[in-house]
Structure 1
Amino acid sequence: MSKLSIKLGIIFFLIIFGLVILMFLFLHSALVDSRIEEELISLQARGNSHRAILEKHFDADTISHVTLMESEANTDVVITDVNGKILGSSANRDSFKGYLHRSGFNIPRKGEILEDNWKKGSFISTVSPIEIDGRTEGRVYMFQDTESLHTLIKRLNGNFLLAGIIAVCLTLIIIFFLSKGLAKPLINMKEATYQISRGDFSVSLPQNGNDELGDLAHSISRLANDLKYLKQERIDFLASISHELRTPLTYIKGYADIVHSRNLSIEDRDKYLNIIREEANRLSDLIKDLFDLAKMDKNSFIIQKRYLDLTDFMLKIKQKFTPAFKEKEMELKVSCPEDLFIMADPSRLEQIIFNLLDNAIKYSPSGAKTLLTVSRKKKDIYIKIKDNGKGIPEEDLPYILNRFYRVDKSRTRSLGGTGLGLSIVKELVLAHGGKISVKSKEGKGTEFELIFKGAG
């Protein structure tokens, strides 16, 4: 668990940490620039305020008063005449001389910024013109020591550092729980798939909601159930094959030994040879059915479709099966409208109908009636075979089309068959692109419905 959660945690941390750093850098730069701009605007406004006073009284007393006020503030002022001669200063004049010659002759009325490089310079400074009667008579230079700005920025950096540490800690906590929450179900799924690969299909995964993880967990659980069913079906299939093969082989071997080792009359000999022949035919039919199913599983089973006149086809079916129904004292009724055509393989469709009618004969009592009806709905052909035999129990209906599945678990041989007939019917119907369904009630009979597309 730790490997995946650590990988997820590192990825999330790098992404979130990178975004936080970029956000903090942008925010820090914006705050610093905004703060410096506010200081410059404030310094400019202070210079303009002094300029307004000096324009009313541009004399030595007023100049002295202005410089005296600035000497008590954290800013400094230098007042010069139009030629640059210093008339008054609130601090050491030598410190400001380098800035006094930077201003041009045409200074706008609102003033201008002389120095804004607070990172490298000793001061930030502004200048405002003193205009009397439309003529420039002097200038007011304002200075602010950048040391106070560096102190302000340092305090701001400290606050950002503290906020960054708190953000990183919260990010790590969130990532820990987030990565753990994501990794845990994934690890559970990994362990479940490992169990499945070892043949243990009794996996149980918790439901994780309706998100992608929940869908994945549901798919793995469904896969485990399907594999469990397939494994059990394979076991049952092998058991059924061994039983179905062993029984006729036992009969063949047993009666062959009797014929070989005993002096039998011609009548007994013929009787035993007939049994051997019947069991050999039964074994041959079983092997043929198994080969057919194997071909269907490999998609190598060939279906040769052609236009088929269902009216003529069903008439031939009735002619073939009527004697078998009469022998069992049963009735077969066939109903099919005229001029009805379908794209199908005639021999395979006959095999489908044969198996279903054969089941109706086997599992219906004397005097029973079987209905074979054909109808058309839009472009689909519906073929229904309904009998009033003994029916199929409701609990057996979902499995009746499975291979070797029998309602009679005792596997009585009186009814014959290989247990593969209905599974072959299902595969043949699907190979035609059709559908098969069955409805049944015990004591009332069974109805098979076949739906084929592409009616002509």
Structure 2
Amino acid sequence: MKKLSIKIGIIFFCIIFGLITFMLFLLHEAVVENRVKEELNALQSRGNSHRTVLEKHFNKEIIEHVILMESESNTDVVITDEKKNILSSSITNHSYDKYIKKEFGDIPYKGKIAEGNWRQEPVISTMSPIKINGQTSGYVFMFQDTESVHNLIQSLNKHFLLIGFISVFITIIIIIFLSRGITKPLIQMKEATSQINKGNFAVTLPQKSADELGELATSIETLATDLNYLKRERNEFLASISHELRTPLTYIKGYADILLKQNPPTDEREKYLAIIVTEINRLNLLIQDLFELAKIDKNSFVIKKEKIDLSIFLKRLERKLTPAINEKNMIFNVHNPSSLNLHADPIRLEQILLNLLDNAIKYSKTGGLVELKVWKEKKTIHFLIRDNGKGVPEKDIPYIFNRFYRVEKSRKRSLGGTGLGLSIVQELVHAHGAEITLKSQEQIGTEFEIIFKENEK
């Protein structure tokens, strides 16, 4: 019994079968009791009718007339005097004497049930007092064989048994369709997860309902999409690392072989050594960036926030960038209101801003403009880095923070970089609980905006 559909079907069947059995039992008992009550009421009414006739003329002729009326029916009548001595009877034997001689206490004029135990006794019986001038002059006892009642009960039992079988059959059919309807999407989801487990993330599920199963199906599809994206990212990441490592190693190995085997002149030797040093520095930068990302992914680095005077902080940052600005004959404008403080990690904040400003300088033309603007707005502090450089194509903007993603698909080395800088920036910004956005137009410029929440005093 490993299949969920069978388990659900058995559970539903037991519950519904129990309910049907209980309800049919209650209905059966109610119908039986009602039918017996109707029989007793009919018997009582017949006795009361005879009593009314006898009260008008309580004589032997009328008594025999009443007896004659019941002799051809399926009921029997016994007429007694006030002391329950039998005056006349439609019964040929006196087997009903025990029902007549019982003590009944006060008997109302409307009559009383003399024997109602139809399950154990062979007859049911009613009695009606005969009142003449306000005095009890006798009794009319009516008897009916319980065999007719039992036949009626048997007929009811057959009908209820047939209804029960039909109900069970219909219940089984409903449960089969219901359990399949419930388990079919679960089976499809199981197959989808099996495909995901095998590495096939291109799974789709049928039209989803607006319930928990629909939410689960949506979650599985989302998971498959995310895993597919992560798989592509991993493959691209590994391919990018391989490329980034292979290129400098190829340069280093190539020029080292030349130096070792060909023993070039001094000026060429120095040229080759300079290339080797450049590639080693590039390789070292890549390893440092990968190490930073590894620490971020493992949450093994700690953001140590402290109160930063942004005026002093940005002046120090400006001094660091001055050589690079002057080399490209660029303009660097810093707009910073005085007396503005921020709670952040100063080392990480400098890493964020230097990375963005370095990109702005790198991708701007000689004589271009780079701006750094800081302002406070309600309970947030905004940093805006803007340049008038080459910009980012619109199609590349959604992926600009992805690891190893480059706008230059040819991986031109003239601009340097590892393709990890903006990814590190985004991770560090998020680690501060801040947000970063990008706006850019080709040949017009790019601007990054970072928004810090001022949630510390």
1:30-429 equivalent positions in 2, closer than 5 A: 30-429=30-429
Find the aligned partners of 2:35 and 2:378 in 1 and give their Cα distance: 80
Find the aligned partners of 2:299 and 2:454 in 1 and give their Cα distance: 22
Q: Deviations over 1:37-76 (max 9, x none)?
A: 1222222222222222222222112212222222222222
Question: 3-state DSSP class of the match of 2:413?
Answer: coil
Q: Which moved more, 1:159-168 or 1:285-294?
A: 159-168
- Aligned-pair CA distance for 1:105: 4.5
Find the aligned partners of 2:256 and 2:276 in 1 and give their Cα distance: 7
- Aligned-pair CA distance for 1:100: 0.5
Find the aligned partners of 1:302 and 1:149 in 2 and give their Cα distance: 90
TM-score by length of 2: 0.95
The residue type paired with residue 160 of structure 2 is F
Find the aligned partners of 1:229 and 1:282 in 2 and give their Cα distance: 29
Which position in structure 2 is the counterpart of 1:444? 444
The residue type paired with residue 220 of structure 2 is I
Find the aligned partners of 1:452 and 1:309 in 2 and give their Cα distance: 15
Q: Which moved more, 1:370-379 or 1:225-234?
A: 370-379
Which position in structure 2 is the counterpart of 1:4? 4
Q: Runs ≥4 in structure 1, deviation > 4 angstroms?
A: none
Q: RMSD between aligned alpha carbons? A: 1.8
Find the aligned partners of 1:46 and 1:226 in 2 and give their Cα distance: 85
Find the aligned partners of 1:315 and 1:82 in 2 and give their Cα distance: 128
Q: Deviations over 1:128-163 (max 9, x none)?
A: 222222222111111111111111111111111221
Find the aligned partners of 1:324 and 1:222 in 2 and give their Cα distance: 45
Contact 1:207 1:217 survives alignment (8 Å): no
Q: Say how many residue pairs are matched.
A: 456
Find the aligned partners of 1:105 and 1:293 in 2 and give their Cα distance: 101
Question: 3-state DSSP class of the match of 1:175?
Answer: helix
Question: 3-state DSSP class of the match of 2:210?
Answer: coil
The residue type paired with residue 421 of structure 2 is G
The residue type paired with residue 210 of structure 1 is A
Question: 3-state DSSP class of the match of 2:119?
Answer: coil
- Aligned-pair CA distance for 1:8: 2.5
Find the aligned partners of 1:157 and 1:104 in 2 and give their Cα distance: 33
Question: 3-state DSSP class of the match of 1:80?
Answer: strand
TM-score by length of 1: 0.96
Structure 2 gaps, min length 5: none
Question: 3-state DSSP class of the match of 2:104?
Answer: coil
The residue type paired with residue 426 of structure 1 is Q
Find the aligned partners of 1:69 and 1:140 in 2 and give their Cα distance: 14
Q: Deviations over 1:195-218 (max 9, x none)?
A: 111111121211222122221111
Q: Which moved more, 1:187-196 or 1:370-379?
A: 370-379
Contact 2:364 2:388 survives alignment (8 Å): yes
Contact 1:207 1:218 survives alignment (8 Å): no
- Aligned-pair CA distance for 1:282: 1.2
Contact 1:325 1:332 survives alignment (8 Å): yes
- Aligned-pair CA distance for 1:378: 2.2
Q: Tell me, yes or no, if structure 1 residue 430 matches structure 2 residue 430.
A: yes
Contact 2:104 2:114 survives alignment (8 Å): no
Q: Which moved more, 1:46-55 or 1:344-353?
A: 46-55
Q: Among the aligned pairs, what percent are the same residue?
A: 61
Question: 3-state DSSP class of the match of 1:402?
Answer: coil
Contact 1:103 1:114 survives alignment (8 Å): no
- Aligned-pair CA distance for 1:394: 1.5
Find the aligned partners of 1:57 and 1:429 in 2 and give their Cα distance: 114
Q: Which moved more, 1:98-107 or 1:397-406?
A: 98-107
- Aligned-pair CA distance for 1:344: 0.6
Find the aligned partners of 2:101 and 2:311 in 1 and give their Cα distance: 116
Q: Deviations over 1:71-114 (max 9, x none)?
A: 22222211111111101212224121110012335222222212
Find the aligned partners of 2:92 and 2:216 in 1 and give their Cα distance: 78
Structure 1 gaps, min length 5: none
The residue type paired with residue 6 of structure 2 is I
Question: 3-state DSSP class of the match of 2:427?
Answer: helix
Q: Which moved more, 1:439-448 or 1:145-154?
A: 439-448
